[in-house]
Structure 1
Amino acid sequence: MSLGFLFLSSEAFSQNIPANPSLLEINPPDGPSNDKVNAIVGVRLIDGLGGSAVENATIVIQGNRIIEVGAKDQVKIPAGAAITDGKGMSLLPGLVDSHFHSANNNKQLSTLLKNGVTTMRDPGHPIRFYQAQHFATAKMPRVYVTGAHLDGYPGVYVQQAALIRDGDHIRSQIAEYVKNGSSGIKIYFRLPLKYIETVVKTADFYNIPVVAHLELVDADDAIMAGLRGIEHVTSFGTSIADPKDAEEFRKSVQEDSNNRRAGRYLLWSKIDLSTDRVKDVLEFAAKNDVVLSPTLATFEKQFGDSEVKDYEAEGFKNMHDFVGMAHKAGVKIVTGSHNSGKYVTPGLAYQREMELLVAAGLSPLDVISSSTIINAQYFRTQDRLGSIEKGKLADLILVEGNPSVDIKAMYSIKKVMLNGEWVENN
């Protein structure tokens, strides 16, 4: 495989080690002047880092940065600070959504923000789908983009894709995306395996991550080629299924991309999660620091639903169980809403995803970390966002109740702060 920059050392090509941990959104929000001081008092602090909640905490924000955080008796509130009483509530970092799609829909993004998501990434939509951000009158979440996904001929969503011709096309396409603000690259499922290494190496050159939606390429093969970000639990299907079932699924999808929709459930309904094949794939993924954004809510099909076929419910049960196994094996799990799902209240897919992750075996604190600091690491912006720490940007949410005990409390978001300013009409 020939790259124009092979003179770089092999260490430069590592999706495991972010050389630039400060990738940026395309729409940096305005913030208050540095003279503005806010203090949140009497609140339960859940900082996103995985530790136990701190009761009766105080957080001080100057301008758009957190300047003090800790127990009440450890933090001095500056004179003149605007005080917010957090009694009965929990303070968390703003939520980070790893998988959300929009198309110049500022109202949709405003709703997302008011429901607690202060940062989101759209993996695969063209950058032009976010030109409406330039005309936003309401506050918007921080938006990270990847540019149109890289797909193979004949493509799937051809209006949202770059159909890759060869390695040079990959390199020129990624260069153009980065120039226009991309902070990541998305591979779509018809891109042949032979191109994945070139995508990863080119992205490494620009210090940005690669994520992928797989259907035809086995996940372990993609990981071997350097992929470290996997979108959708279904992307693991062919790598853990019986080889004959996997080949039948691939042939069906090759014939018609739409066959993947019912075919995923049929494939997953036949998977035996107790096999060594499943164990080996998970161990390999964990060893290579793979991050999985399972988007369970969008695939959810439950037994007892008259509209759901038995094989669909069985397939989803195996997907759900697999995510719990992946977490237990050491695969990093992040929260991505994918906008909607059969059992989702409109606008609250993210909260449903959090519930499903807890039901899969993650603790509520694990899920909060998956929704904040681990996702910030996935975006390579963890030095700015993702936790409540001194020096970080003040993207915060106030939640009624205690989500570190009961994740359903995440449906009760009372206030959202973006970049040091409270969002109006929450």
Structure 2
Amino acid sequence: MTVKLKKRLSGVLCVAAASSLLAACGSSGDSATEVEHGFVISNATIVDTRDGSLQQGRTIVVDGGKIQTITSERVRATGAAQEVDASGKYVVPGYIDMHTHVMEAIDLQPNFFPLMIANGVTAFRDQDLASEERGAQLNADSAAGLVDAPEAIFAGGEAHLNPAESTFDASNRGMPYIDHLGAGMGLLVDCSTQAQDIRTEFLAQGYRPSGINMAHFILNPRAYDGNQNARFYQRVLDTYDENTCEALSQAFVHNGTWQIPSLIRLRTQDWGNDPLYRQDPNLIYVEGSRRANWNEVGDMFSALPADAVTTLQNYYELQKRATLLMQRSGVKVLSGSDIGGIWLIAGFSLQQEFQELAAAGLSPLEVLQTTTLNPAEFLNRQASMGTVEEGKNADLVLLDANPLDSVDNLAKIDGVFLKGRYFSKADLEELKRGVADAYANQ
């Protein structure tokens, strides 16, 4: 759909397509372009996710879910068009959560979508390929305005490492990406000088306890196997070699093996009973039965021996260190929060992932890239997403503060544009309030 822009110059009406507006209509100090449909986002500062440069004083014309034009000239909303004053605001592409289990809760009332939108999530990659057909219908309904939901993306299934296979071998045979740093001990085993011995002994003793509640095990595996396997984690800690981990990183770069660390998922496992999560005020957005399960598994984690917990938490610190090493070595990193695990609240969990990536040492720009620019490259959709440019999807987030100053500012959301609809700050608060109200008496 092409927006028609009207511009009055010295009493003469000029009509031009958005792409040729400036060339066709020229400029005038007292003139203004008129837009009759869609949205006019005025006085915005656009953040270039490629290099972090800022384009100040820009007006973004949005219609049909697309960015029709970006200009520094005056634009006036007329007719059915709505103006959004973005003075003092920063515009970035919508956030993409690249590892979720959202579709498993699609029938939940309310489902995860309101909280995701309220936290700037405009797309999510779901691990359940069996839900792909239903995801396609969701996307169609969303595009038609029948439901408000981020775009569902299906690209590959679970990619945990096989504990019996070295990470070098997995990458060399073409494994396209690795989730959770491999899960369990994961890829850090292959940063050890005793990798083969640790792997052999680990497999010999059986790495999954018997007689488990599988639903609880999925919520937090460490609550079940943390004590049994702590000695293996400790051996990796004791024999970690930076040069070996650098060699592994270079293999990832050479083979194009992406990383979706999901650090917040790892942390909520290794701090499975942390008051930070137990007392999270955002638990008001979680239904009663899910909260009860989380508390029960949290109680199980609290029963682990103190030395095992210390080992697990030290292991997480090494995982953060390895994440930074890989990123600095040129390994491509994606943000994924693994919605579905213990203490992971939809939407908020991605904001927590941003915090963990920053704690690992990534810069605010690098964190922003993991949820915008990098997903576009991974999905081969650079033509439609990843940057704020003409012709691309107008799935956008308006921020109250510069996201390049601090990752905290990625949560300071003033508005969200999603599939042709604008959610103001008040709208976003209403989305969250509706979820809280639904679960208030559970």
Residues 93, 397 of structure 1: 8 Å contact kept: yes
Question: Matched residues in 2 for 1:291 and 1:408: separation?
Answer: 25
Q: Deviations for 1:312-351, whole angstroms, at most 9, x for unmatched residues?
A: 1101001111101110111011100111666756640100
In the alignment, what sits opposite 1:240?
191
CA 1:342/1:129 → structure 2, altered by over 3 Å: closer, same or farther?
Answer: same
In the alignment, what sits opposite 1:185?
156
Question: Matched residues in 1 for 2:374 and 2:229: separation?
Answer: 27
Percent pairwise identity = 22
Q: Deviations for 1:68-96, whole angstroms, at most 9, x for unmatched residues?
A: 235xxx34526524211112322110001
CA 1:252/1:144 → structure 2, altered by over 3 Å: closer, same or farther?
Answer: farther
In the alignment, what sits opposite 1:385?
385
Residues 95, 120 of structure 2: 8 Å contact kept: yes
In the alignment, what sits opposite 1:121?
125
Quick check: 1:249 aligned with 2:202? yes
Quote the offset at 1:278 in angstroms. 1.3
1:218 aligned partner, one-letter code: S
Please give the TM-score of this superposition, normalised by the length of structure 1: 0.69
Q: Deviations for 1:197-227, whole angstroms, at most 9, x for unmatched residues?
A: xxxxxxxxxxxxxx55544332221111111
Please say which of residues 88-97 and 314-323 is displaced more in the overlay. 88-97
Quote the offset at 1:299 in angstroms. 0.8
Output the aligned Cα RMSD.
Answer: 3.1
CA 1:322/1:264 → structure 2, altered by over 3 Å: closer, same or farther?
Answer: farther
Quick check: 1:406 aligned with 2:406? yes
Question: Matched residues in 2 for 1:335 and 1:291: separation?
Answer: 11
2:59 aligned partner, one-letter code: T
Q: How does 1:203-282 map to 2 (within 5 A)?
A: 211-234=159-182, 235-241=186-192, 242-243=194-195, 244-253=197-206, 256=209, 261-262=225-226, 267-269=232-234, 270-271=236-237, 272-282=239-249
Residues 268, 316 of structure 1: 8 Å contact kept: no
Residues 68, 75 of structure 1: 8 Å contact kept: no
In the alignment, what sits opposite 1:77?
75
Q: 1:139 aligns with which of 138, 145, 148?
A: 148
Q: How does 1:47-196 map to 2 (within 5 A)?
A: 47-69=48-70, 74-77=72-75, 80=78, 81-102=81-102, 103-105=104-106, 107-127=111-131, 130=134, 133=138, 137-145=146-154, 184-187=155-158
CA 1:340/1:75 → structure 2, altered by over 3 Å: closer, same or farther?
Answer: farther
Residues 112, 347 of structure 1: 8 Å contact kept: yes
Quote the offset at 1:392 in angstroms. 0.3
Question: Matched residues in 1 for 2:160 and 2:390: separation?
Answer: 34
1:329 aligned partner, one-letter code: S
Quick check: 1:42 aligned with 2:43? yes
2:175 aligned partner, one-letter code: L
* SS across alignment from 1:380: coil
Quick check: 1:296 aligned with 2:257? no
Question: Matched residues in 1 for 2:233 and 2:128: separation?
Answer: 25
In the alignment, what sits opposite 1:334?
334
* SS across alignment from 1:390: coil
Structure 2 unaligned spans of 5+: 1-34, 211-216, 276-301, 429-442
Quote the offset at 1:38 in angstroms. 1.3
CA 1:390/1:265 → structure 2, altered by over 3 Å: closer, same or farther?
Answer: farther
CA 1:366/1:384 → structure 2, altered by over 3 Å: closer, same or farther?
Answer: same
Mark the structure with the bigger radius of gyration. Answer: 2
Residues 59, 68 of structure 1: 8 Å contact kept: yes
Quote the offset at 1:288 in angstroms. 1.9
2:250 aligned partner, one-letter code: E
CA 1:231/1:48 → structure 2, altered by over 3 Å: closer, same or farther?
Answer: same
Residues 94, 397 of structure 2: 8 Å contact kept: yes
Q: Deviations for 1:350-384, whole angstroms, at most 9, x for unmatched residues?
A: 00101111111111011101110101221222211
Question: Matched residues in 2 for 1:303 and 1:274: separation?
Answer: 28
CA 1:397/1:281 → structure 2, altered by over 3 Å: closer, same or farther?
Answer: same
CA 1:354/1:253 → structure 2, altered by over 3 Å: closer, same or farther?
Answer: farther
Question: Matched residues in 1 for 2:254 and 2:265: separation?
Answer: 28
Residues 171, 255 of structure 2: 8 Å contact kept: yes
Residues 397, 416 of structure 1: 8 Å contact kept: yes
Quote the offset at 1:275 in angstroms. 3.8
CA 1:395/1:97 → structure 2, altered by over 3 Å: closer, same or farther?
Answer: same
Question: Matched residues in 2 for 1:37 and 1:135: separation?
Answer: 20
Quote the offset at 1:418 in angstroms. 0.9
CA 1:342/1:406 → structure 2, altered by over 3 Å: closer, same or farther?
Answer: farther
